[in-house]
Amino acid sequence: MTASSRAELATANRIVVKVGSSSISGESSWRIPMIVQALSSAHRRGAEIILVSSGAIATGIPFLALDSRPTDLATQQAAAAVGQNVLVFRYQEALRPFGIVAGQVLLTTGDLENPTSRSNARRAMDRLLSLRILPIVNENDTVATQEIRFGDNDRLAALVAQLVGADALVLLSDVESLYTKPPTDPTAVPIEEIPADADLSGLEFGASVVNSVGTGGAATKVSAARMAAASGIGVLVTSADLVGKALEGEPIGTWFAPSVGR
């Protein structure tokens, strides 16, 4: 049943969780066990969890002896090929103590736009979940082009949530909630809830940004959240550090109320 409020995340059956590169790569890789512990708690109560995880390129950078994120597509693809392997290994090692097996699913947005590929992806995901496997989804960065440049894993997470008929989507970021203006602005106020079909024209979420390890920003999360909410999926945007509280339904982050009757 669709989560109509953030409190219902504690009892939602099928939840998609998305985490970005900056939260789990490089010096931030210590968060992987923390995130996994929160996911395993929800998994233990019977929830079906799908993790959409960025970080392949960022994780692969040190193994290619690069000082920073590559700018050319071929090297990005090479970093992704190496990093994806390491990333899933780290997740599986963190999942091992909880007796949970991960399943890797690599997609592009094109896969979800093609009816045949979309049907195949849905069938595979449903079967993984029925086997109590935790799917770890990422863009197929070794073959992606536009996606690898613009980093729309937030959008991919929303598409995956739609694909599997998720009850809720949790978008994890570096800040606890969205604000009426950039958080650095002293007049910025945290946004607790955004009703379905709300007019957001007066708010300043900023443009998407590219940092040292990943891409994205508040604007991409708002866009993805609104897309999912419009299709009847409740969305919570909050900090990766608060993932445990998020999945327990505590009053944190920014909640995008789902459209009714979708």
Count Cα atoms within 13 angstroms, Cβ side, for 221: 33
Q: What's the token pair of residue 223?
A: 């866009």
Angstrom CA distances, 12 to 42, 70, 124, stand at 9, 39, 21
Q: What's the token pair of residue 187?
A: 């007049």
100, amino acid identity: I
What's the CA gap between 104 and 88, in Å, rounded? 7
Is the distance from CB of 105 to CB of 137 less than 8 angstroms? yes
Query: Is 40 marked within a binding site?
Result: no
Query: Is 223 marked within a binding site?
Result: no
Contacts of 257 (CB under 8 A, 6+ apart): 4, 5, 193, 194, 195, 196, 229, 234
Query: Is 173 marked within a binding site?
Result: yes
Query: Is 126 marked within a binding site?
Result: no
Query: Is 18 marked within a binding site?
Result: yes
Residue among 45, 29, 42, 44 nearest 91 (CA): 29
191, amino acid identity: I
Query: Is 54 marked within a binding site?
Result: yes
Numbered residues of the known binding site: 18, 54, 141, 153, 173-174
Provide the annotated binding site for ATP: 18, 173-174
Q: Which residues are annotated as a binding site for substrate?
A: 54, 141, 153
